[in-house]
Amino acid sequence: MYHFCTYFDRNYLFKGLALYNSLRRHSAPFRLWVLCLDDATREILSRVELPGTCLISLREVEDGDAALLEAKSNRSWLEYYFTLTPSLLLYVLKRHPSMDAITYLDGDLFFYSDPRPMYEEFGDQSILIIEHRFTPDRAHFAKIHGVYNVGLVAFRNDAEGSRCLQDWRARCLETCPAEPVDGRYGDQKYLEDWPQRFRNVVVVQHRGAGLAPWNVGNYTITRVGQTVMVDSDPLIFYHFYGFQIIAPYLFGQLYRDVPRRQQNLISASYIAELQKAIRTVRSLVPGFNYGLAKLGDRHLLRSLLISRLVLAFPPPATP
């Protein structure tokens, strides 16, 4: 059984549901722990049938954790969310000590095939990380955002995995800047020295693990039957960083230099799941608009200006 955990608030609820459904399709059997960062997220998810899911409130994780509450008082909400990543992993492992390993997932990941090849690389080692693998024109971003991406990291429930998690938590409690500063960036730049500081670290080589806007240009994306291929490897998961939901029929994808045909091979099933999630949530909370781009926000407008817009047809059915 796969053991995953993630966290998101109501602004990522549609994406979180799409992630869950992709896991259910490709990663069964699994257990997914979801840290609900606001009451609305927990309330809605509790009303949706999500087999294999365990919902956790923010209060449960914070209860009795003085260091975490102190961090909450001295940083922004976004920085606090970054701070929570290792604490959530440790929280789950503490309550399930017999668990062999646990994997953290960002809420904007989406799975296309069984992650087994990635875990075969992991083997019986302690820590699993994935490189950004930036395209040559973006190679300079490694110095700013890090060589490794925090979107998916896995830890064996052993001495070295625990040592790494405790160290990561201590560093995140110290600071988790939302913008790159002094060689740090959120919870992500701390991964930089793990292969040197810890034993039994696996850097995944499978090209279909960790495909993302910043590296998709390195590969040829094709479809063989129902399988999306990354060169000769099946696509395992894509990181939909910066993907904008503008309306149920209109979406924005970052990085226009990626050929539209290749992007469409990747995004079609994700868009279908997002539309399904919108219908599901709005059947429970009519008019729910959290997670849709707010066109009055200058940061989102700037993002949309460098996006490729995708009009999705056919329109989703009325719930």
The separation between CA 265 and the C-alpha centre of its own chain, rounded to angstroms, equals: 20
In a domain, residue 317? The reply is: no
Predicted confidence (pLDDT) per residue in 105-147, tens digit? 999 999 999 999 999 999 999 999 999 999 999 999 999 999 9
Give a yes or no: residue 316 inside a domain. Answer: no
Q: At what angle do helices 13-26 and 260-284 cross, to 10 degrees?
A: 110
Domain count, the chain: 1
Residue 131 located in a structural domain: yes
Percent with pLDDT over 70 in the chain: 91
Q: Rounded distance, CA 293 to CA 16, Å?
A: 16
| Residue the block writes with tokens 């503490």 | 94
Contact 9, 289 (CB under 8 A): no
Query: Tens digits of per-residue pLDDT, 228-239?
Result: 999 999 999 999
Give the max Cα distance, the chain.
54
Q: Is residue 206 part of a domain?
A: yes
Instruction: Find where tokens 């040559």 sit.
Output: 136
Say which residue, 137 or 256, is predicted with more confidence.
137
- Coil, strand or helix: which one is 224? strand
- Closest by CA position to 189, among listed 141, 244, 241, 260: 141
Q: Does residue 15 lie in a domain region?
A: yes
Does residue 319 belong to any structural domain of this protein?
Answer: no
Domain-located, residue 225:
yes
Backbone angles phi, psi at 8, to 5 degrees: -165, 165
Q: Give residue 218's domain range.
A: 2-311
182 occurs within a structural domain: yes
Q: What is the CATH number for 51?
A: 3.90.550.10
Q: Which amino acid is located at 288 in the chain?
A: F
